[in-house]
Chain A
Amino acid sequence: MSETIFRLLFRLYPSRFRQEYGDEAMQLFRDPARDETGMWPSVRLWCDLLTDLVITIPREYGHTQPEVAGAPAKVCLDGTPTFFVFETTSPGRRPLLLGGLLSLITLVSFPKLMNEFGNSRPPTGWTFASPGAYEKQVEESQRQASQSEQSVGQAQPSTSPPLDAASRHRIIENAIASIKQHHLDHSEAQEAADALLSHERRGDDDGATSTEEFASLATKQLREATGDSELVLLYSTHDIPERMPGPPPPLPAAYGDEMQRINCAFERVEILPHNVGYLKLNAFPDVSVCQATAAAAMTKLNDADALVFDLRDNRGGFPSMVSLIAAYLFDHPEYMYCPLENTTAESWTHSPVPGNKLASKPVYILTSSRTISAAEQFTYNLKMLKRATLVGETTAGGGHAANLHSVGDNFYVGTIEVRAINPYAKSDWNDTGIEPDVKVKALDALKAALSLVDKRQHVN
Protein backbone atom coordinates (compact mmCIF):
# COMPACT_ATOMS: atom_id res chain seq x y z
CA MET A 1 0.00 0.00 0.00
CA SER A 2 2.67 2.51 1.07
CA GLU A 3 4.75 1.52 -1.96
CA THR A 4 1.80 2.32 -4.22
CA ILE A 5 1.43 5.73 -2.57
CA PHE A 6 5.11 6.44 -3.04
CA ARG A 7 4.91 5.27 -6.68
CA LEU A 8 2.04 7.69 -7.27
CA LEU A 9 3.89 10.54 -5.59
CA PHE A 10 7.00 9.77 -7.61
CA ARG A 11 5.00 10.37 -10.75
CA LEU A 12 5.07 14.05 -9.86
CA TYR A 13 8.72 14.19 -10.94
CA PRO A 14 9.54 15.09 -14.55
CA SER A 15 9.37 12.07 -16.84
CA ARG A 16 13.06 12.28 -17.69
CA PHE A 17 13.98 11.95 -14.02
CA ARG A 18 11.50 9.11 -13.58
CA GLN A 19 12.85 7.22 -16.55
CA GLU A 20 16.42 7.68 -15.42
CA TYR A 21 16.05 6.83 -11.72
CA GLY A 22 12.52 5.47 -11.25
CA ASP A 23 13.51 1.87 -10.54
CA GLU A 24 16.29 2.84 -8.21
CA ALA A 25 14.12 5.34 -6.36
CA MET A 26 11.51 2.65 -5.79
CA GLN A 27 14.23 0.36 -4.47
CA LEU A 28 15.42 3.21 -2.26
CA PHE A 29 11.93 3.41 -0.81
CA ARG A 30 11.61 -0.37 -0.33
CA ASP A 31 14.92 -0.84 1.50
CA PRO A 32 14.35 1.61 4.35
CA ALA A 33 10.66 0.67 4.52
CA ARG A 34 11.80 -2.92 5.10
CA ASP A 35 14.46 -1.98 7.66
CA GLU A 36 12.68 0.80 9.51
CA THR A 37 9.73 -1.03 10.95
CA GLY A 38 7.53 0.27 13.73
CA MET A 39 5.29 3.25 13.97
CA TRP A 40 7.76 6.03 14.69
CA PRO A 41 10.46 4.91 12.23
CA SER A 42 7.72 4.68 9.59
CA VAL A 43 6.43 8.14 10.43
CA ARG A 44 9.97 9.50 10.28
CA LEU A 45 10.57 7.76 6.96
CA TRP A 46 7.43 9.29 5.49
CA CYS A 47 8.31 12.73 6.87
CA ASP A 48 11.73 12.44 5.22
CA LEU A 49 10.20 11.31 1.94
CA LEU A 50 7.55 14.02 1.84
CA THR A 51 10.07 16.73 2.73
CA ASP A 52 12.35 15.41 0.01
CA LEU A 53 9.52 15.43 -2.51
CA VAL A 54 8.46 18.97 -1.63
CA ILE A 55 12.02 20.25 -1.99
CA THR A 56 13.20 18.32 -5.01
CA ILE A 57 10.18 18.24 -7.33
CA PRO A 58 10.21 22.02 -8.01
CA ARG A 59 13.99 21.88 -8.31
CA GLU A 60 13.81 19.09 -10.88
CA TYR A 61 11.32 21.04 -12.96
CA GLY A 62 13.57 24.06 -12.54
CA HIS A 63 16.41 22.09 -14.09
CA THR A 64 14.21 20.73 -16.83
CA GLN A 65 12.53 23.96 -17.84
CA PRO A 66 15.41 25.81 -19.50
CA GLU A 67 16.09 22.90 -21.79
CA VAL A 68 12.45 22.51 -22.76
CA ALA A 69 12.10 26.24 -23.15
CA GLY A 70 14.63 26.05 -25.88
CA ALA A 71 12.29 23.85 -27.90
CA PRO A 72 9.51 25.74 -29.66
CA ALA A 73 6.10 24.65 -28.55
CA LYS A 74 4.87 24.44 -32.12
CA VAL A 75 7.02 21.36 -32.58
CA CYS A 76 4.98 19.67 -29.94
CA LEU A 77 1.56 20.96 -30.68
CA ASP A 78 1.55 21.90 -34.33
CA GLY A 79 2.17 25.57 -33.77
CA THR A 80 -1.16 26.34 -32.17
CA PRO A 81 -0.22 27.24 -28.58
CA THR A 82 2.26 29.88 -27.63
CA PHE A 83 3.42 28.54 -24.29
CA PHE A 84 6.29 26.24 -23.45
CA VAL A 85 5.85 22.70 -22.09
CA PHE A 86 8.03 20.36 -20.06
CA GLU A 87 7.18 17.21 -21.94
CA THR A 88 7.25 16.32 -25.58
CA THR A 89 3.70 15.00 -25.35
CA SER A 90 0.61 16.64 -23.95
CA PRO A 91 -0.35 15.46 -20.46
CA GLY A 92 -3.22 13.00 -20.63
CA ARG A 93 -6.41 13.08 -18.63
CA ARG A 94 -5.15 10.54 -16.09
CA PRO A 95 -2.03 12.43 -14.96
CA LEU A 96 -4.07 15.61 -14.66
CA LEU A 97 -6.74 13.87 -12.59
CA LEU A 98 -4.11 12.16 -10.46
CA GLY A 99 -2.25 15.41 -9.85
CA GLY A 100 -5.48 17.14 -8.86
CA LEU A 101 -6.49 14.34 -6.54
CA LEU A 102 -3.10 14.20 -4.82
CA SER A 103 -3.07 17.96 -4.36
CA LEU A 104 -6.52 17.80 -2.82
CA ILE A 105 -5.51 14.98 -0.47
CA THR A 106 -2.39 16.88 0.57
CA LEU A 107 -4.32 20.09 1.19
CA VAL A 108 -6.95 18.33 3.27
CA SER A 109 -4.64 16.08 5.24
CA PHE A 110 -1.82 18.50 5.99
CA PRO A 111 -3.55 20.53 8.76
CA LYS A 112 -4.85 17.31 10.32
CA LEU A 113 -1.41 15.72 10.27
CA MET A 114 0.19 18.80 11.78
CA ASN A 115 -2.43 18.79 14.51
CA GLU A 116 -1.80 15.10 15.21
CA PHE A 117 1.96 15.43 15.45
CA GLY A 118 1.74 18.64 17.41
CA ASN A 119 -0.23 16.90 20.10
CA SER A 120 1.44 13.50 19.85
CA ARG A 121 2.26 11.68 23.01
CA PRO A 122 2.41 8.01 23.89
CA PRO A 123 -1.02 6.59 24.54
CA THR A 124 -2.06 6.66 28.16
CA GLY A 125 -1.27 3.37 29.82
CA TRP A 126 1.62 2.79 27.46
CA THR A 127 4.30 2.83 30.10
CA PHE A 128 2.24 1.13 32.75
CA ALA A 129 5.06 0.24 34.93
CA SER A 130 4.95 -3.07 36.35
CA PRO A 131 3.49 -5.30 38.90
CA GLY A 132 2.14 -3.84 41.54
CA ALA A 133 1.32 -2.03 38.74
CA TYR A 134 -0.68 0.91 37.81
CA GLU A 135 -0.06 2.65 41.13
CA LYS A 136 3.68 2.31 40.66
CA GLN A 137 3.42 4.15 37.44
CA VAL A 138 1.53 6.92 39.17
CA GLU A 139 4.12 6.97 41.86
CA GLU A 140 6.96 6.99 39.36
CA SER A 141 5.46 9.85 37.43
CA GLN A 142 5.06 11.76 40.66
CA ARG A 143 8.62 10.97 41.49
CA GLN A 144 9.76 12.23 38.14
CA ALA A 145 7.67 15.34 38.58
CA SER A 146 9.21 16.02 41.94
CA GLN A 147 12.71 15.32 40.62
CA SER A 148 12.00 17.70 37.83
CA GLU A 149 10.90 20.29 40.34
CA GLN A 150 14.02 19.58 42.27
CA SER A 151 16.28 20.23 39.36
CA VAL A 152 14.39 23.37 38.47
CA GLY A 153 14.79 24.47 42.06
CA GLN A 154 18.51 23.95 41.83
CA ALA A 155 18.73 26.00 38.71
CA GLN A 156 16.75 28.80 40.33
CA PRO A 157 17.73 28.79 44.01
CA SER A 158 15.65 31.87 44.67
CA THR A 159 12.41 29.85 44.19
CA SER A 160 13.47 27.13 46.60
CA PRO A 161 12.13 27.60 50.14
CA PRO A 162 14.85 28.32 52.72
CA LEU A 163 15.78 25.76 55.32
CA ASP A 164 17.31 26.48 58.72
CA ALA A 165 19.42 24.20 60.89
CA ALA A 166 16.50 23.22 63.10
CA SER A 167 14.41 22.19 60.11
CA ARG A 168 17.29 20.20 58.65
CA HIS A 169 17.74 18.41 61.95
CA ARG A 170 14.05 17.55 62.14
CA ILE A 171 14.07 16.19 58.59
CA ILE A 172 17.21 14.14 59.28
CA GLU A 173 15.67 12.61 62.39
CA ASN A 174 12.47 11.71 60.54
CA ALA A 175 14.35 10.39 57.51
CA ILE A 176 16.48 8.14 59.72
CA ALA A 177 13.38 6.75 61.39
CA SER A 178 11.79 6.07 58.00
CA ILE A 179 14.90 4.44 56.55
CA LYS A 180 15.24 2.20 59.62
CA GLN A 181 11.60 1.22 59.32
CA HIS A 182 11.47 0.52 55.59
CA HIS A 183 14.95 -0.32 54.32
CA LEU A 184 15.43 -4.00 53.65
CA ASP A 185 18.99 -4.14 54.98
CA HIS A 186 19.27 -3.15 58.64
CA SER A 187 23.03 -2.63 58.56
CA GLU A 188 22.74 -0.41 55.48
CA ALA A 189 19.96 1.52 57.21
CA GLN A 190 22.26 2.06 60.21
CA GLU A 191 25.08 3.19 57.91
CA ALA A 192 22.70 5.65 56.28
CA ALA A 193 21.64 7.01 59.68
CA ASP A 194 25.23 7.35 60.88
CA ALA A 195 26.21 9.16 57.69
CA LEU A 196 23.39 11.71 57.92
CA LEU A 197 24.14 12.47 61.57
CA SER A 198 27.92 12.70 61.20
CA HIS A 199 27.63 15.03 58.19
CA GLU A 200 25.27 17.21 60.19
CA ARG A 201 27.64 17.28 63.20
CA ARG A 202 30.59 18.21 61.01
CA GLY A 203 28.64 21.12 59.58
CA ASP A 204 28.63 19.68 56.06
CA ASP A 205 24.96 20.57 55.69
CA ASP A 206 25.32 24.21 56.76
CA GLY A 207 25.64 25.40 53.17
CA ALA A 208 22.43 23.65 52.12
CA THR A 209 20.04 26.44 53.02
CA SER A 210 17.31 25.58 50.53
CA THR A 211 15.07 22.51 50.39
CA GLU A 212 16.38 21.36 47.02
CA GLU A 213 20.00 21.77 47.96
CA PHE A 214 19.49 19.81 51.14
CA ALA A 215 17.57 17.01 49.39
CA SER A 216 20.31 16.68 46.83
CA LEU A 217 23.12 16.76 49.41
CA ALA A 218 21.47 14.25 51.75
CA THR A 219 20.79 11.87 48.85
CA LYS A 220 24.46 12.01 47.93
CA GLN A 221 25.46 11.31 51.53
CA LEU A 222 23.05 8.38 51.79
CA ARG A 223 24.26 6.79 48.57
CA GLU A 224 27.93 7.25 49.38
CA ALA A 225 27.47 5.60 52.76
CA THR A 226 25.39 2.63 51.60
CA GLY A 227 26.20 2.14 47.93
CA ASP A 228 22.43 1.91 47.40
CA SER A 229 21.66 3.93 44.31
CA GLU A 230 17.90 3.64 44.94
CA LEU A 231 17.99 5.35 48.32
CA VAL A 232 16.83 8.94 47.97
CA LEU A 233 15.65 11.95 49.94
CA LEU A 234 13.23 13.94 47.79
CA TYR A 235 11.59 17.30 48.19
CA SER A 236 8.24 17.78 46.48
CA THR A 237 5.65 20.51 46.70
CA HIS A 238 3.07 17.93 45.56
CA ASP A 239 1.64 15.51 48.06
CA ILE A 240 2.72 12.00 47.18
CA PRO A 241 0.25 9.48 48.59
CA GLU A 242 1.59 6.59 50.62
CA ARG A 243 1.16 3.26 48.91
CA MET A 244 -1.20 1.17 50.93
CA PRO A 245 -0.45 -2.50 51.60
CA GLY A 246 -2.62 -5.07 49.88
CA PRO A 247 -3.60 -5.72 46.29
CA PRO A 248 -3.12 -2.94 43.77
CA PRO A 249 -6.19 -0.91 42.83
CA PRO A 250 -8.11 -2.12 39.76
CA LEU A 251 -7.02 -0.85 36.37
CA PRO A 252 -9.07 2.04 35.08
CA ALA A 253 -11.61 1.29 32.37
CA ALA A 254 -9.66 3.52 30.00
CA TYR A 255 -6.82 1.03 30.14
CA GLY A 256 -8.96 -1.71 28.62
CA ASP A 257 -10.26 0.65 25.94
CA GLU A 258 -6.76 1.74 25.07
CA MET A 259 -5.53 -1.85 24.87
CA GLN A 260 -8.39 -2.73 22.58
CA ARG A 261 -7.56 0.26 20.39
CA ILE A 262 -3.90 -0.73 20.00
CA ASN A 263 -4.48 -4.49 19.83
CA CYS A 264 -2.82 -4.93 23.22
CA ALA A 265 0.43 -3.49 21.79
CA PHE A 266 0.85 -6.50 19.49
CA GLU A 267 1.75 -4.30 16.55
CA ARG A 268 2.74 -6.98 14.06
CA VAL A 269 2.38 -10.76 14.11
CA GLU A 270 3.65 -12.20 10.85
CA ILE A 271 5.35 -15.09 9.20
CA LEU A 272 8.32 -13.69 7.30
CA PRO A 273 10.12 -15.46 4.42
CA HIS A 274 11.97 -18.66 5.42
CA ASN A 275 9.13 -19.33 7.87
CA VAL A 276 10.38 -16.90 10.50
CA GLY A 277 7.74 -15.88 13.02
CA TYR A 278 7.93 -12.14 13.70
CA LEU A 279 6.24 -10.51 16.68
CA LYS A 280 6.53 -6.77 17.18
CA LEU A 281 5.39 -6.16 20.71
CA ASN A 282 5.40 -2.62 22.08
CA ALA A 283 4.39 -3.40 25.67
CA PHE A 284 3.70 -6.33 27.95
CA PRO A 285 0.04 -5.56 28.72
CA ASP A 286 -1.99 -6.82 31.64
CA VAL A 287 -2.95 -10.47 31.31
CA SER A 288 -6.48 -9.90 32.61
CA VAL A 289 -7.16 -7.69 29.58
CA CYS A 290 -4.91 -9.13 26.88
CA GLN A 291 -4.51 -12.85 27.49
CA ALA A 292 -6.64 -13.81 24.49
CA THR A 293 -4.73 -11.48 22.16
CA ALA A 294 -1.42 -12.89 23.36
CA ALA A 295 -2.58 -16.47 22.95
CA ALA A 296 -3.88 -15.74 19.44
CA ALA A 297 -0.57 -14.15 18.47
CA MET A 298 1.49 -17.09 19.72
CA THR A 299 -0.87 -19.55 18.00
CA LYS A 300 -0.40 -17.71 14.73
CA LEU A 301 3.36 -18.19 15.07
CA ASN A 302 3.11 -21.81 16.21
CA ASP A 303 4.40 -23.38 12.98
CA ALA A 304 7.35 -21.03 12.53
CA ASP A 305 10.88 -22.43 12.34
CA ALA A 306 12.35 -19.49 14.27
CA LEU A 307 10.97 -16.59 16.29
CA VAL A 308 11.94 -12.94 16.28
CA PHE A 309 10.60 -10.81 19.14
CA ASP A 310 10.92 -7.17 18.17
CA LEU A 311 11.09 -5.28 21.47
CA ARG A 312 12.85 -2.20 20.09
CA ASP A 313 9.86 0.00 20.91
CA ASN A 314 8.71 -1.90 23.98
CA ARG A 315 8.22 0.34 26.98
CA GLY A 316 7.46 -2.31 29.58
CA GLY A 317 4.36 -3.51 31.33
CA PHE A 318 3.40 -6.43 33.50
CA PRO A 319 5.54 -9.42 34.57
CA SER A 320 2.47 -11.64 34.30
CA MET A 321 2.49 -11.08 30.52
CA VAL A 322 6.24 -11.72 30.45
CA SER A 323 5.62 -15.12 32.06
CA LEU A 324 2.67 -15.85 29.79
CA ILE A 325 4.62 -15.30 26.57
CA ALA A 326 7.79 -16.92 27.89
CA ALA A 327 5.74 -20.03 28.71
CA TYR A 328 5.55 -20.79 24.98
CA LEU A 329 9.34 -20.93 24.75
CA PHE A 330 9.90 -23.77 27.23
CA ASP A 331 8.73 -27.34 27.60
CA HIS A 332 9.01 -27.16 31.38
CA PRO A 333 8.27 -24.46 33.99
CA GLU A 334 11.02 -21.83 34.13
CA TYR A 335 11.74 -19.22 36.77
CA MET A 336 11.27 -15.66 35.51
CA TYR A 337 13.28 -13.36 37.74
CA CYS A 338 11.53 -10.04 38.40
CA PRO A 339 13.25 -7.41 40.57
CA LEU A 340 9.94 -5.91 41.66
CA GLU A 341 8.33 -9.01 43.08
CA ASN A 342 9.13 -11.52 45.75
CA THR A 343 9.29 -15.05 44.43
CA THR A 344 5.87 -16.70 44.28
CA ALA A 345 4.32 -19.61 42.44
CA GLU A 346 3.57 -17.13 39.64
CA SER A 347 7.30 -16.56 39.13
CA TRP A 348 7.40 -19.77 37.11
CA THR A 349 6.07 -20.07 33.60
CA HIS A 350 3.10 -22.37 32.99
CA SER A 351 5.05 -24.49 30.54
CA PRO A 352 4.47 -26.63 28.58
CA VAL A 353 1.58 -24.93 26.81
CA PRO A 354 -0.76 -27.54 25.26
CA GLY A 355 -0.39 -27.77 21.47
CA ASN A 356 2.59 -25.42 21.43
CA LYS A 357 5.46 -26.23 19.03
CA LEU A 358 7.70 -23.24 19.81
CA ALA A 359 9.57 -24.57 22.82
CA SER A 360 12.41 -25.93 20.70
CA LYS A 361 12.57 -23.17 18.08
CA PRO A 362 15.44 -20.67 18.05
CA VAL A 363 14.50 -17.26 19.45
CA TYR A 364 15.93 -13.83 18.60
CA ILE A 365 15.14 -10.66 20.50
CA LEU A 366 15.62 -7.26 18.89
CA THR A 367 16.59 -4.57 21.38
CA SER A 368 17.18 -0.84 21.36
CA SER A 369 18.27 1.75 23.90
CA ARG A 370 14.54 2.35 24.48
CA THR A 371 13.76 -1.25 25.43
CA ILE A 372 12.92 -0.96 29.12
CA SER A 373 11.35 -2.40 32.25
CA ALA A 374 9.23 -5.53 31.62
CA ALA A 375 10.76 -5.81 28.15
CA GLU A 376 14.13 -6.00 29.87
CA GLN A 377 12.80 -8.60 32.28
CA PHE A 378 11.77 -10.78 29.34
CA THR A 379 15.07 -10.17 27.56
CA TYR A 380 17.24 -10.66 30.66
CA ASN A 381 15.65 -13.97 31.65
CA LEU A 382 15.83 -15.44 28.15
CA LYS A 383 19.44 -14.32 27.82
CA MET A 384 20.41 -15.81 31.18
CA LEU A 385 18.62 -19.05 30.32
CA LYS A 386 20.48 -19.06 26.97
CA ARG A 387 17.10 -19.35 25.30
CA ALA A 388 17.45 -16.32 23.00
CA THR A 389 20.00 -14.46 20.96
CA LEU A 390 19.86 -10.72 21.57
CA VAL A 391 20.40 -8.51 18.54
CA GLY A 392 20.55 -4.72 18.66
CA GLU A 393 21.57 -2.14 21.23
CA THR A 394 22.15 -2.18 24.98
CA THR A 395 18.78 -1.76 26.65
CA ALA A 396 17.70 1.27 28.72
CA GLY A 397 18.44 -0.19 32.15
CA GLY A 398 15.26 0.55 34.06
CA GLY A 399 13.95 -2.04 36.41
CA HIS A 400 13.48 -0.87 39.93
CA ALA A 401 11.14 1.68 41.45
CA ALA A 402 11.58 3.03 44.96
CA ASN A 403 8.62 3.37 47.29
CA LEU A 404 8.28 6.85 48.78
CA HIS A 405 7.45 7.66 52.42
CA SER A 406 6.70 11.10 53.76
CA VAL A 407 9.03 12.36 56.48
CA GLY A 408 7.31 15.73 56.89
CA ASP A 409 8.13 19.20 55.59
CA ASN A 410 7.36 17.95 52.04
CA PHE A 411 10.36 15.60 52.16
CA TYR A 412 10.14 11.94 51.18
CA VAL A 413 12.47 9.00 51.66
CA GLY A 414 12.59 6.51 48.80
CA THR A 415 13.72 2.93 49.38
CA ILE A 416 13.50 -0.37 47.59
CA GLU A 417 11.33 -2.66 49.66
CA VAL A 418 11.43 -5.79 47.59
CA ARG A 419 14.61 -7.65 46.93
CA ALA A 420 13.80 -10.56 44.69
CA ILE A 421 16.18 -13.44 44.31
CA ASN A 422 18.27 -13.10 41.21
CA PRO A 423 19.61 -16.59 40.47
CA TYR A 424 22.11 -15.30 37.92
CA ALA A 425 24.10 -12.45 39.46
CA LYS A 426 24.18 -9.93 42.28
CA SER A 427 23.06 -7.12 40.02
CA ASP A 428 20.66 -7.23 37.09
CA TRP A 429 20.01 -4.74 34.31
CA ASN A 430 19.09 -1.78 36.48
CA ASP A 431 21.10 1.27 35.42
CA THR A 432 23.44 -0.76 33.21
CA GLY A 433 21.00 -2.22 30.67
CA ILE A 434 21.38 -5.61 28.99
CA GLU A 435 24.18 -6.14 26.52
CA PRO A 436 23.08 -7.79 23.27
CA ASP A 437 24.85 -10.86 21.91
CA VAL A 438 25.10 -9.22 18.51
CA LYS A 439 25.64 -5.49 18.80
CA VAL A 440 24.20 -3.55 15.86
CA LYS A 441 22.25 -0.33 15.56
CA ALA A 442 18.59 -0.78 16.44
CA LEU A 443 17.74 0.20 12.90
CA ASP A 444 19.74 -2.76 11.56
CA ALA A 445 18.65 -5.29 14.16
CA LEU A 446 15.93 -7.02 12.14
CA LYS A 447 18.18 -7.44 9.15
CA ALA A 448 20.98 -8.80 11.35
CA ALA A 449 18.64 -11.24 13.10
CA LEU A 450 17.20 -12.52 9.81
CA SER A 451 20.71 -13.01 8.56
CA LEU A 452 21.49 -15.11 11.66
CA VAL A 453 18.36 -17.18 11.05
CA ASP A 454 19.40 -17.64 7.45
CA LYS A 455 22.88 -18.82 8.42
CA ARG A 456 21.48 -21.20 11.00
CA GLN A 457 19.01 -22.67 8.52
CA HIS A 458 21.83 -23.23 6.02
CA VAL A 459 23.96 -24.99 8.62
CA ASN A 460 21.09 -27.27 9.53
Chain B
Amino acid sequence: MPKQKLNPLPSAAFQILLALVGKDLHGYGIMRNVAEQTEDRMRLGPGTLYSSIRALLEEKLIEEVDHTSDSNAKDERRRYYRLTSTGRKLARSEAERLADLLRVARAKNMLRGDYV
Protein backbone atom coordinates (compact mmCIF):
# COMPACT_ATOMS: atom_id res chain seq x y z
CA MET B 1 0.00 0.00 0.00
CA PRO B 2 1.39 3.42 -0.88
CA LYS B 3 2.24 5.72 1.96
CA GLN B 4 0.26 8.84 2.55
CA LYS B 5 2.36 11.92 2.29
CA LEU B 6 2.94 13.51 5.67
CA ASN B 7 5.10 16.33 4.38
CA PRO B 8 3.79 18.87 5.06
CA LEU B 9 2.10 17.36 8.08
CA PRO B 10 -1.70 17.60 7.64
CA SER B 11 -3.55 19.42 10.35
CA ALA B 12 -5.53 16.31 11.37
CA ALA B 13 -2.35 14.24 11.73
CA PHE B 14 -0.74 16.97 13.83
CA GLN B 15 -3.77 17.14 16.10
CA ILE B 16 -3.68 13.36 16.53
CA LEU B 17 -0.02 13.51 17.52
CA LEU B 18 -0.82 16.27 20.02
CA ALA B 19 -3.71 14.24 21.45
CA LEU B 20 -1.38 11.31 22.06
CA VAL B 21 1.22 13.32 23.98
CA GLY B 22 1.48 11.71 27.40
CA LYS B 23 -1.28 9.14 27.02
CA ASP B 24 -2.34 6.15 24.97
CA LEU B 25 -5.75 6.55 23.40
CA HIS B 26 -8.16 4.55 21.25
CA GLY B 27 -9.89 6.03 18.22
CA TYR B 28 -12.80 7.61 20.07
CA GLY B 29 -10.44 8.91 22.76
CA ILE B 30 -8.37 10.60 20.06
CA MET B 31 -11.47 12.04 18.45
CA ARG B 32 -12.65 13.54 21.73
CA ASN B 33 -9.22 14.88 22.64
CA VAL B 34 -8.87 16.57 19.29
CA ALA B 35 -12.33 18.13 19.63
CA GLU B 36 -11.39 19.33 23.11
CA GLN B 37 -7.98 20.75 22.25
CA THR B 38 -9.39 22.62 19.23
CA GLU B 39 -12.46 23.79 21.15
CA ASP B 40 -14.68 21.76 18.81
CA ARG B 41 -13.31 23.43 15.68
CA MET B 42 -11.96 20.11 14.43
CA ARG B 43 -14.24 17.10 14.68
CA LEU B 44 -12.60 14.08 13.11
CA GLY B 45 -14.83 11.59 11.36
CA PRO B 46 -13.95 7.91 11.02
CA GLY B 47 -12.55 8.32 7.51
CA THR B 48 -10.17 11.14 8.35
CA LEU B 49 -9.20 9.62 11.67
CA TYR B 50 -8.30 6.17 10.44
CA SER B 51 -6.67 7.27 7.20
CA SER B 52 -4.48 9.61 9.29
CA ILE B 53 -3.78 6.88 11.82
CA ARG B 54 -2.77 4.49 9.07
CA ALA B 55 -0.39 7.06 7.58
CA LEU B 56 1.09 7.82 11.01
CA LEU B 57 1.53 4.09 11.67
CA GLU B 58 3.24 3.58 8.34
CA GLU B 59 5.63 6.44 9.06
CA LYS B 60 6.19 4.97 12.55
CA LEU B 61 5.12 8.21 14.17
CA ILE B 62 2.65 6.29 16.32
CA GLU B 63 2.40 2.64 17.25
CA GLU B 64 -0.32 0.27 18.33
CA VAL B 65 -0.16 -0.83 21.95
CA ASP B 66 -1.78 -3.69 23.79
CA HIS B 67 -4.29 -2.60 26.38
CA THR B 68 -6.23 -5.80 26.75
CA SER B 69 -4.88 -6.38 30.25
CA ASP B 70 -5.99 -2.91 31.31
CA SER B 71 -9.02 -3.18 33.56
CA ASN B 72 -10.35 0.06 32.10
CA ALA B 73 -10.26 -1.29 28.62
CA LYS B 74 -13.59 -3.04 28.70
CA ASP B 75 -13.82 -3.45 24.97
CA GLU B 76 -10.99 -5.54 23.58
CA ARG B 77 -11.92 -4.59 20.04
CA ARG B 78 -10.54 -1.13 20.59
CA ARG B 79 -7.01 -0.54 19.38
CA TYR B 80 -4.89 1.84 21.41
CA TYR B 81 -2.21 4.07 19.94
CA ARG B 82 0.93 5.59 21.39
CA LEU B 83 3.24 8.36 20.24
CA THR B 84 6.71 7.14 19.24
CA SER B 85 9.84 9.19 19.85
CA THR B 86 9.94 10.02 16.13
CA GLY B 87 6.34 11.18 16.33
CA ARG B 88 7.10 13.32 19.35
CA LYS B 89 10.03 14.95 17.53
CA LEU B 90 7.90 15.63 14.46
CA ALA B 91 5.08 17.12 16.56
CA ARG B 92 7.60 19.35 18.34
CA SER B 93 9.17 20.54 15.11
CA GLU B 94 5.73 21.22 13.64
CA ALA B 95 4.79 23.21 16.75
CA GLU B 96 8.00 25.19 16.42
CA ARG B 97 7.26 25.83 12.75
CA LEU B 98 3.84 27.19 13.68
CA ALA B 99 5.37 29.30 16.44
CA ASP B 100 7.81 30.77 13.90
CA LEU B 101 4.90 31.63 11.63
CA LEU B 102 3.17 33.35 14.53
CA ARG B 103 6.29 35.37 15.25
CA VAL B 104 6.39 36.52 11.65
CA ALA B 105 2.71 37.43 11.74
CA ARG B 106 3.26 39.35 14.93
CA ALA B 107 6.30 41.16 13.53
CA LYS B 108 4.10 42.31 10.66
CA ASN B 109 1.55 43.67 13.16
CA MET B 110 -1.09 41.19 12.07
CA LEU B 111 -1.70 40.17 15.68
CA ARG B 112 -2.11 42.13 18.84
CA GLY B 113 -0.76 41.10 22.22
CA ASP B 114 1.72 38.45 23.27
CA TYR B 115 0.66 35.39 21.39
CA VAL B 116 4.08 33.78 21.30
Contacts and interface: CB of A to CB of B under 8 A. Distances in A.
A175 B2 CA distance: 77
A51 B44 CA distance: 10
Contacts of A55: 47-48
B75 interface: yes
B101 to A, nearest CB: 25
A426 B31 CA distance: 44
Interface stretch (A26-34, A266-274, A347-355, A429-437): A26-34
Contacts of B2: 63, 66-67
5 contacts: A10-B46, A24-B27, A27-B77, A28-B27, A67-B1
Given A16-B1, A21-B53, 8 more contacts: A20-B54, A24-B77, A25-B47, A25-B50, A28-B46, A31-B28, A55-B48, A59-B47
A52 interface: yes
Contact of A21 (B4, B44, B50, B75): B50
B106 interface: no
B67 interface: no
A360 interface: no
B54 A56 contact: no
B47 A29 contact: no
Residue with the highest number of chain B CB atoms closer than 10 Å, among A13, A32, A57: A32
Interface in B13-32: 26-28, 31
A48 interface: yes
Interface residues of B, number: 22
B45 A17 contact: no
Nearest to B29: A31
B103 interface: no
B33 to A, nearest CB: 13
Contacts of B46: 10, 21, 24-25, 28-29, 49, 52
B88 interface: no
A163 to B, nearest CB: 36
A13 B47 contact: yes
A60 B45 contact: no
Contacts of A60: 47, 51
Contacts, number: 69
Interface string A388-431: 00000000000000000000000000000000000000000000
Nearest to A23: B77
Nearest to B75: A27
Contacts of B78: 24, 27
B6 to A, nearest CB: 13
Contacts of B75: 27
Contacts of A53: 45, 47
B28 A27 contact: yes
Given A24-B78, A27-B77, A60-B51, A52 B4 contact: no
A249 to B, nearest CB: 42
Nearest to B35: A443
A16 B77 CA distance: 18
A25 B50 CA distance: 8
A56 B49 CA distance: 10
Interface string A2-30: 00000000100100110011011101110
Contacts of B48: 52, 55-56
Given A24-B79, A27-B77, A55-B48, A48 B43 contact: yes
B45 A49 contact: yes
A52 B26 CA distance: 19
B13 to A, nearest CB: 13
Interface in A333-354: none
Interface string A40-82: 0000000011011101110110011011000000000000000
A55 B51 CA distance: 11
B15 to A, nearest CB: 14
A199 B45 CA distance: 59
A24 B50 contact: yes
Contacts of A31: 28
